[in-house]
A and B are shown apart, each in its own frame.
Chain A
Amino acid sequence: MKTTLLNAWRWSIRRLPEAMLVLLVLALLPGLVLVVLEVRAVAARFISGPSTLWRATVQDPWPAAGFLVCLVGVGLATFLLWRNWPFVWATGRKLIVEALHRKIVLVLLVFFVVMMLLLPFVLKTEGSQMSRVQLVLLYSLVLAMVLLSLVAIFLSAASICSEIESKQVHITDTKPMRRWQFLLGKWFGTVVLCSSVMFVMTAAVGGVVLYLARPPKVAHLQPREAAAILDNHRRLWEQVLVARREFLPVLPPDLDAKVAREIEEQQETGTWPKEPMMRRRRTRDLRKALIAERWTVPLGRARGWEFRGLRPDQEGNLQVRFKAFSTRPNAALRGRWLVLQRKQVKDEDGKMVSRPVVVHAVLAPPEGWFSQVRRSIDVPGQFVGDDGTLLLSYENLSVIGDAVFDPDNLVEVLQSQGPFLPNYYRALLVLFCYVGLLSALGLMAGSLFSFPVASLTVVFIVIVGLVGPWFVSFLSPNYEVPLPLWRDMLKSAWRAFCHAVLTVMPHFGKYNPLGQLSDGMMVTWRLVLTSGAVMLFVKGGLALLVGAYFYSRRELARVIVR
């Protein structure tokens, strides 16, 4: 019996690399299907109105560029893997077998399961089903990604460094395999291992989340309590387990003209800065100030917002999010949101004219709205006009103080665009790009340095990638007094260098889909395509090229004399 089990274990270990490869291919197949469907939809839009699509592409070229880069990248990767398959799979398979023997995957899965079991005790929720599901979804995925990122970095870096240090590469390198093929195989092995484990982990997370989101049993509860629980369950599926898109209000048409006028005035008075970055910042500030002014609601008055492009005839609720505060310190906002629809009404002269009419109102809670956090109200989706327009108005009913809406967090309407599972899957595709990039970085560092240095280098790159966008905000000059020319040039050069470095660094925060996913926001194809293009194919490919360049020129049997 023991021998049979042992043989079965050995057999499964020998077959696991192939099983992982098949699992990865199966996991990526739905992505291919979804992409084909999306391309078909875009093609249909192009046939029906080429100019509209062209205009949209000119306004936001990133999805099209990302798609093209991904298309070329996938084609190139497929070609390279196909042509070099014996080497790639031999090397990658060996890496997977070694990792399995080293119990890396087992430890990873056990640790993940233990942490998953501990999560309910660690996470403090407000007790509702929605908050519980939201936190479990977010923290489980964060945990999975942290573990997988560490494994991807250390496994890829160690796979190169340990082979060089233990001189195994002395044998491998004498075989008819080019060094870049060896690196490609290592990368592929790491990606297959980490991605297949990632898909297993995330499938488990998805299962747990759907289990937690099942309809609550309320038969034994009081009607009021049962209604609250059912309402929470409804909101869970409307606001968390859903793919929503945000719609921002239409800005005042004269905004740009007003900004231009302000700039002219400042130029005339000589207060307009000379430094280009300062000019950009001043323009942004002016714009924000005008927006804040436009949507400041005086006491007893009302202001309106118009949203366009929503889906009409949708059941369920829309969510309206806003952040506002009173001009009086510590004063709560009291007022009401009005939903309007354009209807044909008779005017004073008895003529039929189109006018906005209040169709729904949402009152502030008795304690009012405080300014510290973003607030939200639910609006029935049926009030979206046939042309996809939603009109909102806020009426300030406070006793004292005007209501100012934060220009940095404009009022937004969130509307469901699709179900949760495709959204979840798109988020996984972005995480797959993460794994690919981290593996490439690990290999690049491993082909240059020894293991400790290589792994620390990648960790450093990841940290810089995370804080990079925040650091960029400090690069713009904050001096108003003109500097001497040489200091100005020096600072400009330094800023340009920092910008270049931070641009090359992988921006993990920028393409992180987990916040959006747990917030019920749509992980768009735009995000998937741009992260695939930028992270996987451009930066990951660049890292692999750099690694291959240095590894090909490295004396693998070199005696290091220090």
Chain B
Amino acid sequence: MPSSDNAVLEVIQLTKVFRDFWGRESVKALDSLDFDVRRGEVFGLLGPNGSGKTTAVRIVLGLLFPTKGAVRVFGRSPHDIEVKKRVGYMPEESHLYAYLNAEETLDFFGRLFRLAPRERRSRTAALIEMVGLQRARRRPVGQYSKGMARRIGLAQSLINDPDLVILDEPTTGLDPIGSREIKDLVLALKDMGKTVFLCSHLLADVEEVCDRICILYGGRQRALGPVEDLLVADDVTQIRAPHLADSAVQRIVDIIRESAPADVPVEVSAASRRLEDYFLSVVEEARRERLVTAGAEPGTAAAAFLGGAEEQAEQVLAELVQAAEEAAWAPTAPEEQPAEALPVRQDKEFLEDLVRSSTAGRPEQQPAEAAPAAPETSTRDDVLQELIVEGPADDEADEDDTA
């Protein structure tokens, strides 16, 4: 029952039935779907293939019409032009114009938002840099790999600096680096106060970035709520610590045995790194060796114009560099983000957060022993290094491309 005053998107008893040529009911894609997405949160729509996620997204976007129920975006119909001005959408597959290059593609979509030519150019450049396609910016999109096409698909969804970003399977087709960057970007967008509505069947992705989720099965809503609430296991306690001696482990097990029934199993094992973390560390090492790739390069942080404080970008950038140096690259405790909606913050704060998060990582995801090669840290470090020496490096890239 969507009722929050803070709701950006309201889905009310949404039902969608597809009919065949003769009007007979063929597929009931959605059945009484009911949820809302609140301002500033990352909301995930989860479900196996064919559960109705994409259908729900398409109805939210006005590409399909509901059979029953209603959808309100910013309190209006999804077909409202004022609504569309505030929404960015990245579809499941990047259905872009194959003969246009990245610049022309973003320029085209920028024109549809009636952006001034100068604004279009600056946003296009910023977004292309953000998604790491500087070298391929003049190549027709039809020649892009799937991952590169996804990146430009993401860039076009942000050209209007949207308040609501709708991402349909955002990490599909992306390599782990691209996938990581998308997830970082989603978090960055959230920090800017934007609302993100994403649907995916990749549970790990959703778990990492979403505040609340809704799980669909067969077009019906099976679960809805904050991720922490839904995933908490009340009957299990988890302890994570640096490598301990066998004797210390044995003492801990003994303590646990004293307070737990004898028949309850207690497991102690060495923590293992996630494959994603390991992969990212290998790629990072290759990058440090300056191996050339024809594909996408590492993207940068969210483009400065997102959040509407572009004019302060230069100043913020200078402060960011200073803050980065002062932070001494030491891990600090992550800040707890309130589960409720966040107010829009200044870029300075966001970028300072970015620095902190880049150095701190996320404790529940990064085991202590993996700290030196933690891919998130490395990616962020890379961004900051690039920001510090950005001028010459960028010029060089441009010259290469022109040549």
Minimum CB–CB distance from B156 to chain A (whole Å) comes to 7
Q: Which residues of A contact B27 (CB under 8 A)?
A: 559, 561
Within 8 A of B (CB), among A64-116: 86-87, 89-90, 93-94, 97-98, 101-102
The answer to whether the Cβ of B278 comes within 8 Å of any Cβ in the partner chain is no
The answer to whether the Cβ of B274 comes within 8 Å of any Cβ in the partner chain is no
The answer to whether the Cβ of A271 comes within 8 Å of any Cβ in the partner chain is no
Bitwise, B134-166 to A at CB < 8 A (1) or not (0) is 000010100000000000010010001000000
Asked whether, in the complex, the Cβ of A557 is within 8 Å of the Cβ of B64, the reply is: yes
Asked whether, in the complex, the Cβ of A176 is within 8 Å of the Cβ of B96, the reply is: no
Residue among B63, B96, B97, B112 facing the most chain A CB atoms (10 A cut-off)? B112
CA–CA, A102 and B138, complex, Å? 17
CA–CA, A170 and B26, complex, Å? 23
**Closest residue on chain B to residue A86 by CB atoms:** B114
Asked whether, in the complex, the Cβ of B87 is within 8 Å of the Cβ of A97, the reply is: no
The answer to whether the Cβ of A510 comes within 8 Å of any Cβ in the partner chain is no
Given contact pairs A556-B63, A562-B20, A174 touches B99 in the complex (Cβ within 8 A): no
The answer to whether the Cβ of B85 comes within 8 Å of any Cβ in the partner chain is yes
Q: Which residues of B contact A98 (CB under 8 A)?
A: 97, 99-100
Asked whether, in the complex, the Cβ of B93 is within 8 Å of the Cβ of A561, the reply is: no
Asked whether, in the complex, the Cβ of A557 is within 8 Å of the Cβ of B84, the reply is: no
Asked whether, in the complex, the Cβ of A173 is within 8 Å of the Cβ of B63, the reply is: yes
The answer to whether the Cβ of B209 comes within 8 Å of any Cβ in the partner chain is no
Minimum CB–CB distance from A172 to chain B (whole Å) comes to 7
Minimum CB–CB distance from A110 to chain B (whole Å) comes to 19
Q: Which residues of A contact B63 (CB under 8 A)?
A: 170, 173-174, 555-557
CA–CA, A172 and B153, complex, Å? 12
Asked whether, in the complex, the Cβ of B81 is within 8 Å of the Cβ of A173, the reply is: no
Within 8 A of B (CB), among A157-197: 166-168, 170-178
Asked whether, in the complex, the Cβ of B93 is within 8 Å of the Cβ of A167, the reply is: yes
Q: Which residues of A contact B153 (CB under 8 A)?
A: 171
The answer to whether the Cβ of A10 comes within 8 Å of any Cβ in the partner chain is yes
Within 8 A of B (CB), among A25-54: none
The answer to whether the Cβ of B18 comes within 8 Å of any Cβ in the partner chain is yes
Asked whether, in the complex, the Cβ of B21 is within 8 Å of the Cβ of A562, the reply is: yes
Asked whether, in the complex, the Cβ of B113 is within 8 Å of the Cβ of A175, the reply is: yes
**Closest residue on chain B to residue A101 by CB atoms:** B99
CA–CA, A89 and B111, complex, Å? 9
CA–CA, A403 and B18, complex, Å? 75
Asked whether, in the complex, the Cβ of B99 is within 8 Å of the Cβ of A175, the reply is: no
The answer to whether the Cβ of A3 comes within 8 Å of any Cβ in the partner chain is yes
Asked whether, in the complex, the Cβ of A90 is within 8 Å of the Cβ of B111, the reply is: yes
Which one of B21, B82, B100, B111 contacts A86 once the chains associate, using CB atoms below 8 Å?
B111
Asked whether, in the complex, the Cβ of A97 is within 8 Å of the Cβ of B112, the reply is: no
Q: Which residues of B contact A171 (CB under 8 A)?
A: 89, 91, 95-96, 109, 153, 156
The answer to whether the Cβ of A558 comes within 8 Å of any Cβ in the partner chain is yes
**Closest residue on chain A to residue B86 by CB atoms:** A176
CA–CA, A87 and B112, complex, Å? 6
Asked whether, in the complex, the Cβ of A97 is within 8 Å of the Cβ of B26, the reply is: no
Asked whether, in the complex, the Cβ of A178 is within 8 Å of the Cβ of B81, the reply is: yes
**Closest residue on chain A to residue B57 by CB atoms:** A557
Within 8 A of A (CB), among B5-53: 18-21, 26-27
Q: Which residues of B contact A168 (CB under 8 A)?
A: 95-97
The answer to whether the Cβ of B217 comes within 8 Å of any Cβ in the partner chain is no
**Closest residue on chain B to residue A179 by CB atoms:** B79
CA–CA, A364 and B63, complex, Å? 75
Q: Which residues of B contact A10 (CB under 8 A)?
A: 138
Q: Which residues of A contact B140 (CB under 8 A)?
A: 101
Asked whether, in the complex, the Cβ of B64 is within 8 Å of the Cβ of A558, the reply is: yes
Asked whether, in the complex, the Cβ of B87 is within 8 Å of the Cβ of A174, the reply is: yes
CA–CA, A557 and B99, complex, Å? 23
Asked whether, in the complex, the Cβ of B91 is within 8 Å of the Cβ of A177, the reply is: no
CA–CA, A86 and B109, complex, Å? 11
The answer to whether the Cβ of B58 comes within 8 Å of any Cβ in the partner chain is yes
**Closest residue on chain B to residue A173 by CB atoms:** B63
Asked whether, in the complex, the Cβ of A176 is within 8 Å of the Cβ of B113, the reply is: yes
Within 8 A of A (CB), among B69-89: 81-82, 84-85, 87, 89
Asked whether, in the complex, the Cβ of B104 is within 8 Å of the Cβ of A97, the reply is: yes
Q: Which residues of A contact B18 (CB under 8 A)?
A: 558-559, 561
CA–CA, A101 and B140, complex, Å? 10
Q: Which residues of A contact B109 (CB under 8 A)?
A: 171, 175
Within 8 A of A (CB), among B220-237: none
The answer to whether the Cβ of B65 comes within 8 Å of any Cβ in the partner chain is yes
Q: Which residues of A contact B97 (CB under 8 A)?
A: 94, 98, 168
Residue among B82, B111, B403 facing the most chain A CB atoms (10 A cut-off)? B111
CA–CA, A171 and B90, complex, Å? 8
**Closest residue on chain A to residue B60 by CB atoms:** A174
Minimum CB–CB distance from A95 to chain B (whole Å) comes to 10
CA–CA, A10 and B100, complex, Å? 11
Given contact pairs A171-B156, A176-B84, A97 touches B96 in the complex (Cβ within 8 A): no
Which one of A90, A101, A170, A558 contacts B112 once the chains associate, using CB atoms below 8 Å?
A90
Given contact pairs A94-B100, A94-B108, A174 touches B95 in the complex (Cβ within 8 A): no
Minimum CB–CB distance from A204 to chain B (whole Å) comes to 27
**Closest residue on chain B to residue A552 by CB atoms:** B79
CA–CA, A3 and B160, complex, Å? 34
Asked whether, in the complex, the Cβ of A166 is within 8 Å of the Cβ of B403, the reply is: no
Which one of A102, A170, A555, A562 contacts B95 once the chains associate, using CB atoms below 8 Å?
A170
Given contact pairs A98-B97, A555-B64, A557-B58, A175 touches B403 in the complex (Cβ within 8 A): no
Within 8 A of B (CB), among A124-180: 166-168, 170-178
The answer to whether the Cβ of B62 comes within 8 Å of any Cβ in the partner chain is yes
Q: Which residues of A contact B95 (CB under 8 A)?
A: 166-168, 170-171
**Closest residue on chain B to residue A89 by CB atoms:** B111
Which one of B26, B89, B104, B114 contacts A174 once the chains associate, using CB atoms below 8 Å?
B89
Minimum CB–CB distance from A107 to chain B (whole Å) comes to 15
The answer to whether the Cβ of B61 comes within 8 Å of any Cβ in the partner chain is yes
Bitwise, B104-142 to A at CB < 8 A (1) or not (0) is 100011011110000000000000000000000010100
**Closest residue on chain A to residue B84 by CB atoms:** A176
Q: Which residues of A contact B61 (CB under 8 A)?
A: 170, 173-174
Asked whether, in the complex, the Cβ of A86 is within 8 Å of the Cβ of B112, the reply is: yes
Q: Which residues of B contact A174 (CB under 8 A)?
A: 61-63, 84, 87, 89
Minimum CB–CB distance from B20 to chain A (whole Å) comes to 5
Minimum CB–CB distance from B264 to chain A (whole Å) comes to 50
Bitwise, A286-303 to B at CB < 8 A (1) or not (0) is 000000000000000000
Which one of B82, B99, B111, B113 contacts A102 once the chains associate, using CB atoms below 8 Å?
B99
Asked whether, in the complex, the Cβ of B138 is within 8 Å of the Cβ of A176, the reply is: no
Asked whether, in the complex, the Cβ of A561 is within 8 Å of the Cβ of B112, the reply is: no
CA–CA, A93 and B27, complex, Å? 39
Asked whether, in the complex, the Cβ of B99 is within 8 Å of the Cβ of A97, the reply is: yes
Asked whether, in the complex, the Cβ of A97 is within 8 Å of the Cβ of B100, the reply is: yes
Minimum CB–CB distance from B119 to chain A (whole Å) comes to 12
Q: List chain B positions with a Cβ less than 8 A from chain A.
A: 18-21, 26-27, 58, 61-65, 81-82, 84-85, 87, 89, 91, 93, 95-97, 99-100, 104, 108-109, 111-114, 138, 140, 153, 156, 160, 403
Closest 10 A-B residue pairs measured CB to CB? A90-B111, A101-B99, A557-B63, A175-B112, A176-B84, A167-B95, A561-B26, A557-B58, A174-B89, A176-B85
Q: List chain A positions with a Cβ less than 8 A from chain B.
A: 3, 10, 14, 86-87, 89-90, 93-94, 97-98, 101-102, 166-168, 170-178, 555-559, 561-562
Cross-chain pairs A/B with CB under 8 angstroms, 9 sampled? A86-B111, A97-B99, A166-B95, A167-B93, A168-B95, A168-B97, A170-B95, A173-B63, A561-B20
Q: Knowing that A170-B61, A176-B85, A561-B18 are A-B contacts, what are 10 other residue pairs whose CB atoms are under 8 Å apart, sorted by A's residue number?
A: A90-B108, A102-B99, A166-B95, A170-B58, A173-B62, A177-B84, A178-B81, A556-B63, A557-B63, A561-B21
